[in-house]
Amino acid sequence: MNKLYLWGIIIVIAMLGATFLSVGTSKGGLNSDIVNMLAIAGAIAIFTITVFVVIKYVRQMQMDNASGELADENWDGIGEYKNELPMGWAVMFLLTMIWGMWYWTIGYPVNSYSQIGEYNEDTAVHNTKFEAKYKDFTGDKLVEMGESVFLAECKVCHGINADGIEGKAANLNKRIDAASVKYVIEHGSNYKLLGTEMPMPDRNGLFNANTGALITDAEIETVSAYVANGMKGDGADIFVGACSSCHGPDGKGMEFVAPNLVEYTPALVTNVLNNGKKGSIGVMPKFERLNDKQKEAVGAYITNISK
């Protein structure tokens, strides 16, 4: 037998022995979990194939001569032969594809234990118990719960006092600032602030009914300051002409049409937590790890502090 093949067999046997000593004799052994069995089987297969593929090519470099039809292309005088794909490679590729389909559909993870699946199931059970336990929380109790959730999940960006940490996130002590209003007017909004798809157009779709023309830069600046100032000061006429048909004459929004621009509501905050939001500062992600009661509580807390 060729020395290379003999060394390959010796190496594979040694690795199998080391694998058995390190894994097979441990508590529970290989039979304790199908994931362990699949992982070890895959590792053994890959290592064995690698050893003998290396041996094959070392043997080719020692014994074989190039043959076949030379390709027209060459690089610095070095050409390439047009040879068919080796049968062994084609068979291994096909078997790998078949194994991959089996692995994902019958072997693992679709048909077997999954740590992620177990975590999701445990989380669902916990959320059901949590919401049943705290479903009757309203008023001050709900606000207190919301403060706890806010301090655990939201203060990293919005600050312990919900002031936005000097512009790094939205200041939640007031409904909205001028920069945020201007950004939405210029870029539009489609973040399900009402819980459903109800997009606001960008500036190219906003007409000022008073002038019969698209809203101008100067009007955007004025109405942004007006909304941010709690619907006070200059800009009331622009708001009435360009914004009130959706947001209402008082800016408190219209059901299924546009959100409240004057104050936060628990529903508005919950929708932002559910869907995320992009604004003048950046992107706020969804908070899917919070359950419905926790989101409601955060909404009650933010609504309370922004009064």
Which of 15-24, 149-158, 195-204 shows the lowest per-residue confidence on average (mean pLDDT)?
Answer: 15-24
Q: Which residues, 6 or more positions from 210, have their beta carbon under 8 angstroms from its beta carbon? A: 237, 238, 240, 241
- Mean local confidence (pLDDT), 214-231: 95
**231-287 pLDDT per residue, tens:** 999 999 999 999 999 999 999 999 889 999 999 999 999 999 999 999 899 999 999
Element (H, E) at 133: helix 115-134
Tell me which of 33 and 174 has the higher pLDDT: 174
3-class secondary structure, 85: coil
Which of 70-84, 218-232, 265-279 shows the lowest per-residue confidence on average (mean pLDDT)?
Answer: 70-84
Question: What's the rounded Cα separation, in Å, for the pair 105 and 85?
Answer: 29
**87-127 pLDDT per residue, tens:** 888 898 999 999 888 877 777 666 666 777 788 889 889 98
Q: How many CB atoms lie within 10 A of CB 39?
A: 14
Looking at residue 241, its pLDDT comes to 95
**15-27 pLDDT per residue, tens:** 778 777 776 655 5
The confidence band for 40, taking pLDDT boundaries of 50, 70 and 90, is confident
Is pLDDT of 84 > 80?
no
Hey, which residues does 82 pair with through a beta bridge? 69
Is pLDDT of 132 > 70?
yes
pTM: 0.62
Is pLDDT of 229 > 90?
yes
